[in-house]
Amino acid sequence: MSGEDAPAQQQNAVDQKQETKPAEEPKAEPPKTESAEAGATPAAAPEKAPEEETFTYRALVLTGYGGYDKVKLQVKKGKPALKAGEVQVRVKVCGLNFADLMARQGLYDRLPSPPVTPGMECSGVVEAVGEEVTDRKVGDKVMVLNRFGLWQEVAVVPASHTFLIPEGMSFEEAAALPVNYITAYLMLFDFGNLRPNQSVLIHSAAGGVGIAATQLCKTVKDVTVFGTASASKHEAISQGGVTHTIDYRTKDYVEEVRKISPKGLDIVLDPLGGSDTHKAYNLLKPMGKLITYGTANMLAGQRKNLIAVAKNWYHQFSIHTLSLIQGNKSVCGFHLGYLDGEMELITQAMNTILDLYKQGKVKPRIDSTWHLEQVGDAMRKMQERNNVGKVILTTEPMPEEEKKEEAKKEDKKEDKKKDDKKKDDKKKDDGKKEEKKEEKKKEEPKKEEKKEEKKEEEKKEEVKKEEK
Amino acid sequence: MSGEDAPAQQQNAVDQKQETKPAEEPKAEPPKTESAEAGATPAAAPEKAPEEETFTYRALVLTGYGGYDKVKLQVKKGKPALKAGEVQVRVKVCGLNFADLMARQGLYDRLPSPPVTPGMECSGVVEAVGEEVTDRKVGDKVMVLNRFGLWQEVAVVPASHTFLIPEGMSFEEAAALPVNYITAYLMLFDFGNLRPNQSVLIHSAAGGVGIAATQLCKTVKDVTVFGTASASKHEAISQGGVTHTIDYRTKDYVEEVRKISPKGLDIVLDPLGGSDTHKAYNLLKPMGKLITYGTANMLAGQRKNLIAVAKNWYHQFSIHTLSLIQGNKSVCGFHLGYLDGEMELITQAMNTILDLYKQGKVKPRIDSTWHLEQVGDAMRKMQERNNVGKVILTTEPMPEEEKKEEAKKEDKKEDKKKDDKKKDDKKKDDGKKEEKKEEKKKEEPKKEEKKEEKKEEEKKEEVKKEEK
């Protein structure tokens, strides 16, 4: 595949033969996998027959495993069928998660094979309700959690997978909340059983889960939070509640923790996998809990990196019960994507989180908002760990002038793409820093960062994998 | 070694060459490992010099790894030295634990090499306090938790390892409480994070930990307890709070649990190890916790059974983090014997347990009380799973008439011992049932069982290992 760096917008023009107009000017297309079977009869919000024919909406579609360009903006036609218990949501904002990045590389088995629309969370407005739905009505503002399929303008999901957005919460916050906060909550308070005076290590403390976990830790008295992040993010995570910041790029985080807490830690949240899981285990004090919830170490580069995957498997942590017994330790695995069936548990967690939100104790931090056309850049920002907080997508149409700007950028990128690809193939990590800094300037998200200093921080940052 | 079945009393007479009188008539002996360095100067309770010379006390000593006869009753001479922070306790009652049985076979690395006095818990009265001890005084009734060394009439331990016995609690209860209840408490409420409406599987629900765990489960609203035990114990464990009793000898406990709880369980407490740990893991529902706290499956026969040990190692549960992540499961290991340094944690747990005791919510159940001379029989009763509740030892001297009775029994046993040994060597488990029933009649503990029907139950029982 060519065009590793091309954003969704241009990819559509270049790669999608069946599309004759740009994606942002919707046109009738053959129905996609997720598109409607005509003839659906939504009970609570019946639509006119003509609309069913002309109903179109934009959707991001993973067309095959690979780089950022594999997620393309397409137009789906036909009103989605609405089964009993389901609601149709007009999506406003979508959240990006690490699982989406894994999925794009073919490393996440909860996503059906391409072509498929990714996306585990979004916010929006209910625009139709199916039979037997009693607790949602048209016009309800909701956040949605689903196994996949939410990166599109219209999504049909079980009503039980929606949660009412509380007053005062923006669609942006609502799209940033479900995955990160439920993940952090269940890890800390179900597996972790976090109590006052305990100590927690949070890797990637500036990431979505990291920020959520830090805020949740601060709801418990006298919890000490160790947080790793690159130095430029330390001020942000300190303000967010991290007690001891550790620059994992210049310091050995195990040593740093031991200096302050020689006996070790009560809880380690491990999103990295591989050899970092071993380190986490050794850092536990008696009755300590290691909660591993990802294999971010597997992500090296845009496309599936077989060496990184193999390395992660090779170093994968495996534990014998006798060691656990003698150490009085706990090892837990968590992934919200595999908790599908447990909506009761998830709803309980969500209710608690929303209470904390209303009390002002937790609040999602948005790193940047991108148009659907910019999904490639958004994914890149997250994968290269240049975010502080949540990366989200808006379904708002992209203004014409911005489109022209994007197109110019893309031309420049097109030239550089070939260089990129060569370097990617060589698998050389050195020498990329300058190039990426340059790229970053071009990739400013559509919405201006509220704090100027954040931009400065980001420019200084280097991607995590570079020092790995 | 001969005399696998000889109880401590007779072993002393037969095997201990340095002892010329029966142990129960104490006589000056060369100091043992644990015996006093003369010249100790206890601060708070100074003793007269002559007493330091003549101070003797009976102690059980593990003289080497092997069968029940390896624990011998000896007399130690000399007042134990009392360091700062320590107290000297006149022991009234000692608790037996599975770790003691493992230790006797050389399968528990927390016990120093023989000769050594085993015993992790006891109750008694403080009879001397060392310097710097401020919260204990002579005359305090205490229960004690220690790594080893408590199966003797006089024990010296750190004051921090003692807990005041609350009003109304007998010495018997106090000796039965620490290990079982702290173990059950930390497993259920620290690792397990037990909450209302959850489900718990308790293996050996009639054992010390099993009974404690059942009682603690009942302190949480609407917890469903599945308890395994042989059929004859079902009434007892039902009365104790087990919701669903399972006879593991005639039924597949996994199937039985699935019939009632198709989705599986929230918590499994696993004292067995080996293949049962695999079953436990598979029985967990999402967010479920497996807490493994022993390798009782290793205990097959009196002496270390290399086949059982190897089998246990071979079947030892080992888990990869990716499986944990995809299953959203937790695997924890617990053993109080390895929590030495964590007295703060243990004291917190103990305080909560004592509060529950005062509220009448937990109460140790005593299976049987034995004289120090009968420690072999006591261990056998526990190892063969013939107990309902705690097996304890009293330091009260054995009345003369009972000694004569014991002697007669021992003569009979001596004849049978050889048969036993042959069978043990052959490692044939079949055909032992009849023999053991016969033995059981001879081995009635000194204190009469309060409930006649309990005796009847015991006679019907067969040892767990028989059907393994």
Does residue A29 surpass a pLDDT of 90? Answer: no
CB A292 within 8 A of CB A280: yes
Q: Does A115 sit behind a cis peptide bond, omega within 30 degrees of 0 on the bond before it?
A: yes
Q: How many CA atoms lie within 13 A of B142 on its CB side?
A: 30
- φ, ψ for residue B376, nearest 5 deg: -60, -45
Q: Span B262-291, mean pLDDT?
A: 95
Condensed to tens digits (0 to 9), the pLDDT of residues A345-386 reads 999 999 999 999 999 999 999 999 999 999 999 999 999 999
- Going by pLDDT thresholds of 50, 70 and 90, the confidence category of residue A441 is very low
- Alpha helices of A75-187 — where are they, by DSSP H? 98-104, 171-176, 178-185
CA distance B86 to B88: 7
CB B115 within 8 A of CB B416: no
Query: Which residue of chain B comes nearest to A322, CA vs CA?
Result: B333
A112 CB neighbour count, 10 Å cutoff: 15
Tokens of B297: 């499956």
Q: Domain ranges in chain A?
A: 56-175, 186-355
Answer whether CATH 3.40.50.2300 is correct for domain B186-355.
no
CATH class, range B56-175: alpha beta
Does residue B225 surpass a pLDDT of 70? Answer: yes
Q: How close does chain A come to B344, measured CA to CA in Å? A: 12
Least confident window among B56-60, B116-120, B338-342: B338-342
Beta-carbon contacts of residue B317 (< 8 Å; ≥ 6 apart):
A320, A321, B273, B274, B277, B278, B281, B292, B331
Does residue A39 surpass a pLDDT of 80? Answer: no
* Choice between B365 and A418, residue whose per-residue pLDDT is larger: B365
- φ, ψ for residue A376, nearest 5 deg: -65, -45
Q: Does B115 sit behind a cis peptide bond, omega within 30 degrees of 0 on the bond before it?
A: yes
Place of tokens 């718990």: B200
* Chain A CB contacts of B277 below 8 Å: 321
**B208-217 vs B178-185: helix crossing angle, rounded to 10:** 50
Mutation choice for B interface testing from A108, A293, A317, A325 by most B CBs within 10 A: A325
Beta-carbon contacts of residue B297 (< 8 Å; ≥ 6 apart):
B272, B273, B274, B275, B276, B308, B311, B312, B468
The shortest CB-CB distance from A333 to any of B193, B324, B334 is to B324
Whether residue B316 and residue A320 make contact (CB cut-off 8 A), yes or no, is: yes
The residue among A231, A241, A189 whose CA lies nearest residue A210 is A241
Output the pTM of the full model: 0.80
- Going by pLDDT thresholds of 50, 70 and 90, the confidence category of residue A414 is low
The residue among B85, B98, B89 whose CA lies nearest residue B165 is B89
Enumerate the β-bridge partners of residue B95.
B392
C-alpha distance from residue A212 to each of A54, A183, A205, A363, A365 (Å): 41, 9, 9, 8, 9
Report percent pLDDT > 70 for chain B.
Answer: 73
Query: Which residue of chain B comes nearest to A341, CA vs CA?
Result: B286
Mean pLDDT of chain B: 81
Tokens of B381: 């009763």
Condensed to tens digits (0 to 9), the pLDDT of residues B189-220 reads 999 999 999 999 999 999 999 999 999 999 99
Whether residue A331 and residue B321 make contact (CB cut-off 8 A), yes or no, is: yes
Whether residue A331 and residue B332 make contact (CB cut-off 8 A), yes or no, is: yes
Contacts across the A-B interface (CB distance below 8 Å): 129
The shortest CB-CB distance from B324 to any of A186, A292, A324 is to A292
pLDDT at residue A360 in the model: 97
CA distance A319 to A327: 11
- What is the three-class DSSP state of A133? coil
* Chain A CB contacts of B102 below 8 Å: none
The shortest CB-CB distance from B320 to any of A294, A316, A329 is to A316
Going through B180-280 in order, the beta strands assigned E by DSSP cover 199-202, 224-228, 244-246, 265-270
ipTM over 0.85: no
